[in-house]
Amino acid sequence: MRLLGKTMLTEPCQAEQRQVVIIGPGAMGCLYAALLNRSRSVDVSLLDYHPQRAAQIQQQGVVVEAAEETYTVPVYCSADPGDFLVADLLIVFTKAYDTEAAIRRATPLVGSDTGVLTLQNGLGNYQILQQHVPKEQVLAGTTASGATLLGPGHIRQAGVAEIVLGSPVGNTELAHEVAEILQSASQTVKINDDVDAVLWRKALINCAINPLTALTRRRNGELLEITALRELMAQVAREVYAVASAAGINLGRYSPVEAVEQVCRATATNQSSMLQDILAGRQTEIEYLNGAVAEIAGQYDTAAPLCECLAALVQGINC
């Protein structure tokens, strides 16, 4: 771990190890900090904004409750960007509404060769990063992995899935370099040149499932069991697909309804991230999901009344 004047929790890294810094010690940030550091092929640390929480994670490591075992992975964590030297890879896992503040704080970690990858939920994250980092250094992607935050640095793992990433400006060389870093840490990575389509497919799923679970307090699979909710979910999926098409996003020839229902079945017992936020009294990302779709719809002379309505309802709970 390349640190300035700080005691390390992890062992000194070998010269060939790549330096990966994850911004945001939420459920997904902690999950990937543990997964990547456990491989011992890359050196991973966490950048937080909350000094007390950072100190706790620094002392205890990241605790992961998986299906077959509970384990702890030592992970260096600090709330001071000055504690780190330039990273090879910066992964942004904050909530969408914190993206700008997060990248502003992380500027000292970004060098001319640093890849900056967002694996966040929502639309508009990579565009925010591009305002603060050269566009050719920004990558965007998705992952279907899941986790629930139980406490600072303590998560329950719901599943680990492949990462799909790409360069919004066509920097395939960087995309392959970052894929190699993640693959060296035992992650399955797929590169997709049409990253906007990747992000919209994920947003479609989240827009159709998350607000309904948040409003009804139901797990993903339960949306399929109640006829009215299943039909509403289908209508939202079709609406998002239509807005994407109007915006020139090619989602391909597939059924958005079947895609959403498949995810519900595969994650039947999961609480969506939005439901977790509502139950914990945290701000949701609704403005970057259904709210963003409704806003984009207006830019292309189309309508998204269901997304607009769901955004208003979730915002009403959040107030």
Query: Which of the following is catalytic: 95, 135, 190, 202?
Result: 202
Look up 190 and say whether it is catalytic.
Answer: no
Q: Residue for token digits 């702890």?
A: 72
DSSP characters over 145-191: -EEEEEETTEEEEEE---EEEE-TT--HHHHHHHHHHHHHTT--EEE
Phi, psi of 146 (to 5 degrees): -145, 150
The Cα–Cα gap between 51 and 44 comes to: 18
E strand spans, the chain: 18-23, 42-47, 62-65, 70-73, 76-78, 89-92, 115-118, 138-143, 146-151, 154-159, 163-166, 189-191
Residues 6+ away with beta carbon under 8 Å from 144: 159, 161, 162, 263
Q: Which of 292, 252, 302, 294 is nearest to 120 (CA)?
A: 292
For helices 195-216 and 273-280, give the axis angle rounded to 10 degrees: 40
Q: Residue for token digits 């519900």?
A: 264
C-beta separation of 84 from 114 below 8 A: no
| CA-based radius of gyration for the chain | 19
Phi, psi of 164 (to 5 degrees): -115, 125
Q: Which of 197, 165, 193, 192 is nearest to 178 (CA)?
A: 165
Residues in the chain, overall count: 319
Catalytic residues: 202
